[in-house]
């Protein structure tokens, strides 16, 4: 999460702006990106979703289920690039999708070592890519087709929690860090508009809201979210 999330026990090892990615992520060059096995994805046509916060409540997304429904002790921490949570247990895909990245270890550059992305293949957010990172061990492989009943990772109590949110179409970083979204990396400012968008989706599926979701958001929400 920090590059995301409230600080936990390992906070002293995280950048001052938040927990998660290493400091200087926003200036990271392509040569510094972790070697992740992934498959190509294509963004769907642009579409705008009515925001949950500051407007009428968004309806439950047809075909999607709460991906954190089996996490014990689930506790929302904050919105940053994505949304941070504490807890432990299995994490599901939120909808029908194809796995585009599945990595575990120091090479990912994330605390806890986990990095999983999947592209939704059905429902109102079809074509968008979701990431799950940090204290998770992948249980899926690249190219695997998954559904809301598929466990894609096991979240463990490692001190960093998890972060989940919208990933870039390439599946190698958070969407909020791209220029089109304002280029907001691990140092913030938070919450990001992209992160709030994902929190809106999770809330519509029954996940508790992050504490800072109603605070003024930063960056840009690109067309299609």
The domain limits of the chain are 51-204
Distance CA(18)–CA(177), nearest Å, equals 14
Average pLDDT over residues 176-191: 96
**Whether the predicted pLDDT of 88 surpasses 90:** yes
Q: Which CATH architecture has domain 51-204?
A: Distorted Sandwich (2.70)
CA distance 132 to 6: 16
Average pLDDT over residues 92-115: 91
What average pLDDT does range 157-169 have in this prediction? 93
Calpha distance 170→64 (Å, rounded):
22
For residue 213, give Cα distances in angstroms to 158, 167, 170, 221: 25, 19, 26, 15
Q: Which residues are registered as beta bridge partners of 192?
A: 218
Give the per-residue pLDDT at 38. 43
Q: What is the mean pLDDT of residues 195-211?
A: 97
| Burial environment of residue 151 by CB neighbours within 10 A (0 to 12, 13 to 18, 19 or more) | middle
Q: What is the pTM of this model?
A: 0.77
192: tokens are: 């990001």
Q: Which helix (H) or strand (E) holds 203?
A: helix 193-204
Within 10 angstroms of residue 38's Cβ, the number of other Cβ atoms is 18
pLDDT band at 112 (very low <50, low <70, confident <90, very high): confident
Q: What is the mean pLDDT of residues 133-147?
A: 97
Q: Between 26 and 195, name the one with better pLDDT.
A: 195
| pLDDT on residue 106 | 83
For the record, the structure tokens of 25 come out as 């992520």
Question: Between the CA of residue 56 and those of 22, 50, 53, 200, what are the distances in Å?
Answer: 37, 8, 8, 11
Mean of all residue pLDDT scores within the chain: 81
3-state secondary structure of 32: helix
Is-contact 205 66, C-beta < 8 A?
yes
- CA neighbor of 127 nearest in space, from 91, 95, 172, 84: 95
The confidence score (pLDDT) of residue 53 equals 53
Residue 18 has pLDDT above 60, yes or no: no
């Amino acid at each position: 999460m920090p590059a995301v999330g409230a600080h936990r026990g390992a906070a002293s090892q995280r950048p001052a702006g938040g927990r998660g990615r290493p400091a200087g992520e926003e200036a990271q060059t392509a040569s510094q990106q972790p070697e992740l096995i992934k498959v190509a994805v294509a963004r769907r046509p642009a579409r705008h979703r009515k925001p949950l916060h500051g407007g009428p409540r968004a309806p439950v997304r047809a075909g999607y289920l709460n991906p954190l429904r089996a996490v014990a002790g689930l506790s929302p921490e904050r919105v940053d690039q994505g949304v941070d949570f504490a807890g432990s247990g299995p994490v599901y895909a939120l909808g029908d999708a194809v796995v585009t990245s599945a990595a575990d270890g120091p090479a990912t550059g994330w605390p806890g070592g986990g990095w999983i992305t999947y592209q939704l293949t059905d429902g109102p957010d079809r074509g968008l890519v979701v990431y799950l990172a940090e204290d998770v061990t992948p249980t899926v492989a690249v190219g695997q087709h998954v559904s809301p009943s598929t466990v894609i990772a096991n979240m463990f109590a490692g001190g960093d929690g998890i972060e989940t949110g919208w990933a870039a179409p390439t599946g190698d970083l958070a969407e909020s860090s791209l220029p089109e979204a304002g280029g907001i990396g691990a140092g913030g400012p938070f919450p990001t508009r992209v992160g709030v968008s994902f929190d809106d989706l999770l809330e519509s599926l029954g996940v508790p809201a992050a504490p800072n979701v109603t605070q003024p958001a930063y960056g840009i929400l690109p067309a299609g979210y």
